[in-house]
Amino acid sequence: MKTKLLLIALCTFCIGFSQVPAGYYDSATGSGYTLKTQLKNIIDSDNDGLTPEFQSTDPGYAGLYTTYVTSDSDFYYENNGTVLDMYTENPTGMDVKEYTHFTDQDPGSGGTAEGQFYNREHIIPQSVFSQVTPQRSDAHFVVPSDKFVNGARGSLPFGRVETANLTTTNNSKRGNNLDAGYSAGYTATVFEPIDEFKGDIARMHFYFATRYEDNVAGYSYTMFNGTSDQVFDDTFLSILVTWHLLDPVSQRELDRNDAIFARQNNRNPFIDHPEYVQMIWNVTVDTEAPTVPTNLMVSNETSNSIDVSWTASTDNTAVTEYDVYVNSVFNKSVATTSTTVNGLSAETTYSFTVLAKDAAGNESAQSNAVNGTTLAGTGGGDCATETFTNIGAASSSYTTVMWSGDDGGMWTATEARTDQTITGAAITLDGRGTDNGTLTSPSISGGIGNLTVTTQRKFTGTTGNFNVYVNGSLVGTIPYDDTVQTTILNDINVSGNVVVVITEDSGNNRVAVDDLSWTCFDPLLSVNDLSLENLKVYPNPSTDGFITINIPNGKNVELNIYDLTGRRIIAKNNLEEIIQLSNLPQGMLLVEIISSQRSITKKVIIR
């Protein structure tokens, strides 16, 4: 956060990269709402007698698609010139779809899921200003957007989602507003973009409030207060100013401002001069980050879980939650100063860090890392438990639902509704259309042994089955009818990271799913053609680089040995019961034995 705020202080450096005409802001000499009116005169379409005078033009609503070629092409993330959409752009990974200008333009139908078409999203909804021009075609706040997400956002205000009922592939969210911290004062449904674009969207709002100052007092909109000076309701002004401060002007915004100026002859002043926001609205926001969590400790190691605890952070207001990272990957958020991390692999070392967050969304730096090592074990403990408690507000609409599960990972359900229950909250999948509803888990470590799930058909229909896939392979079916029934799929036995997908097999039913869980992979229970429970690797530790591997009843097995970086150092095929190896390198090695049906991995130490 401090790095980002520093960029605002250095905004004159940023301005050097934009193409602001000489004298463009010379008449902006005031402060407060006087300054806002002066900026309005600079960027509107009237001849206000300014020197110089740049009167805004209107390229037209259809012309927005042409504007987007220069204003909203991706030369910042994928860097391939595709359409840059703030609602689906993934700054650190693959986008759900990379749209080609014009080719993937909205044809007027479709758009039932992400990644089909793009169209024009009005950051201030068209209904607010009755679709009049030039507002309708003003590219400074009308942006390209995935059609499905545009429709999902609708005319909702922007805010800070507490519990999501829809999450896009880049983690933009829809749900009830968090009535705390800088977003306190509103509880109804809002839409929240990702952090990368929050400042962009805030500055679009400030532009609209300034450019259309003469009209905005007559607009009815949740985010507005019915005035032409402040324009924004107190809660939403706090949100917008905070987003503006925490997400400074980017090179992408500077370039976009230049491109739109070339098309419609006016600029967004809050991109060229970010300091104008505080000069006009003078809102005090919390930008102080909590202190870094200290004294991180691990304890109670089992074969598939480790407890992590730390000393509480302090903050100028209050610490609201902690984010826990495992091997530098986000695992979960908790409100307490301890947690149990589940779903870990046996005999594996993990690195844990924690950061603190306050109500304003300020984050501390991550704590110093502490390592913990799981114990050896036979597996079989719980690797995943999902109660669907976090699926969001009850909704009877069938749509894509994404939520943070009980253990912090992101779950996804398509063609799903959230208003039906079994033992509690449940996700209901719709199998009546051409695309059956599907439930997909996050990738969870520790493998899978046995899976348990509760189902019930809702409304009318017939009996049927769900198909269960693990890492893309069908592992079994789950029956359902109009009664509540719990099914256990035994002996799935897949090791490593697993993704579980459940989708309807029979079709034409709406079925609720609840209380889904599975046990971890258990190597001792996963064999039938080898007596691996009696597998011996000795001596262990070895002091001379020599080991013997004894595989009772082993025939034509495969052997792989890996170091801890994952590099395979030995590979042998068609081996019999006794294997002897010499000259092994020092350190911890993983010995993998693979038969025609099963496999097992043992740890061996060479000193």
As given in the structure block, the two tokens for residue 252 are: 């992408």
Residues 365/292, Cβ–Cβ less than 8 Å: yes
Cα maximum dimension of the chain: 96
Q: What is the mean pLDDT of residues 306-335?
A: 90
Cβ partners under 8 Å of residue 90, min gap 6: 77, 96, 169, 170
**Residue 253 corresponds to which amino acid?**
E
Q: What is the mean pLDDT of residues 437-466?
A: 89
- Least confident piece of the model among 1-10, 121-130, 212-221, 598-607: 1-10
Closest CA to 75 of 64, 88, 89: 89
Rounded to a whole number of angstroms, the CA Rg of the chain reads 29
pLDDT tens digit sequence for 534-587: 567 778 778 788 888 877 655 567 788 877 666 778 888 766 667 788 888 887
> Residue 478: helix, strand or coil by DSSP?
strand
Position with higher pLDDT, 374 vs 76? 76
User: Distance (Å, rounded) from C-alpha 177 to C-alpha 162?
Assistant: 6
- Least confident piece of the model among 87-91, 448-452, 530-534: 530-534
Q: Tell me the range of 117-121, 243-247, 546-550 where mean pLDDT is highest.
A: 117-121
**Residue 239 corresponds to which amino acid?**
I
In the chain the domains, ranked by start, together with CATH numbers, are 2-281 (no CATH), 294-377 (2.60.40.10), 384-524 (2.60.120.260), 530-606 (2.60.40.1930)
* Predicted local confidence at residue 14, as pLDDT: 37
- Least confident piece of the model among 62-71, 207-216, 335-344, 569-578: 569-578
* Predicted local confidence at residue 554, as pLDDT: 59
As given in the structure block, the two tokens for residue 488 are: 């256990």
Residues 446/304, Cβ–Cβ less than 8 Å: yes
Element (H, E) at 129: none
pLDDT tens digit sequence for 13-29: 333 346 899 999 999 99
Cβ neighbours around 423 below 10 Å, total: 13
Q: How far from the centroid of its chain's Cα atoms is residue 499's Cα?
A: 17
Residues 507/430, Cβ–Cβ less than 8 Å: no
Closest CA to 20 of 258, 194, 285, 306: 258
User: Distance (Å, rounded) from C-alpha 224 to C-alpha 33?
Assistant: 16
- Look up residue 66 and give its DSSP letter: H
Determine phi and psi for 516, rounding to 5 degrees.
-90, 130
Residues 452/423, Cβ–Cβ less than 8 Å: no
* Predicted local confidence at residue 52, as pLDDT: 94
In 520-586, the DSSP E strands lie at 536-538, 547-550, 557-563, 568-575, 578-581
What is the 3-class SS of 409-466, one letter each residue? CEEEEEEEECCCECCCECEEEECCCCCCCEEECCCECCCECCEEEEEEEECCCCCEEE
Helix axes 195-211, 251-264, angle to 10 degrees: 30
In 312-443, the DSSP E strands lie at 319-326, 329-334, 338-341, 349-358, 370-373, 382-386, 399-404, 410-417, 427-430, 438-440
Element (H, E) at 57: none
pLDDT > 90? residue 594: no
pLDDT tens digit sequence for 276-318: 999 999 988 888 899 999 999 999 888 778 999 999 999 988 8
* Predicted local confidence at residue 20, as pLDDT: 94
What is the 3-class SS of 239-290, one letter each residue? HHHHHHHHCCCCHHHHHHHHHHHHHHCCCCHHHHCCCHHHHHHCCCCCCCCC
Residues 436/487, Cβ–Cβ less than 8 Å: no
* Predicted local confidence at residue 126, as pLDDT: 96
* Model confidence, pTM: 0.59
User: Distance (Å, rounded) from C-alpha 255 to C-alpha 336?
Assistant: 43
Per the listing, tokens 């971890």 go with 520
User: Distance (Å, rounded) from C-alpha 414 to C-alpha 41?
Assistant: 48
pLDDT tens digit sequence for 25-66: 999 999 999 999 999 999 999 999 999 999 999 999 999 999
Cβ partners under 8 Å of residue 201, min gap 6: 86, 123, 158, 193, 243
Residue 279: exposure state from Cβ atoms within 10 A (0-12, 13-18, ≥19): middle
Distances (CA, A) of 123 to 18, 164, 251: 23, 20, 20
In 178-228, the DSSP E strands lie at 189-192
Band of pLDDT at residue 104, cut at 50, 70 and 90? very high
Rounded to a whole number of angstroms, the distance between the first and last alpha carbons of the chain is: 46
- Look up residue 473 and give its DSSP letter: E
Distances (CA, A) of 134 to 67, 157, 500, 517: 15, 21, 50, 54
* Predicted local confidence at residue 501, as pLDDT: 92
* Predicted local confidence at residue 527, as pLDDT: 40
- Least confident piece of the model among 79-93, 254-268, 303-317, 593-607: 593-607
Band of pLDDT at residue 2, cut at 50, 70 and 90? very low
Residue 103: exposure state from Cβ atoms within 10 A (0-12, 13-18, ≥19): exposed
* Predicted local confidence at residue 596, as pLDDT: 54
* Predicted local confidence at residue 576, as pLDDT: 66
- Look up residue 368 and give its DSSP letter: P
Whether cis (ω within 30° of 0) applies to the bond prior to 523 is no
* Predicted local confidence at residue 565, as pLDDT: 63
Closest CA to 271 of 285, 250, 287: 250
Residues 343/444, Cβ–Cβ less than 8 Å: yes
Instruction: Using DSSP bridges, classify how beta strands 438-440 and 410-417 pair: parallel, antiparallel or unpaired.
Output: antiparallel
User: Distance (Å, rounded) from C-alpha 564 to C-alpha 350?
Assistant: 12
Residues 36/30, Cβ–Cβ less than 8 Å: no
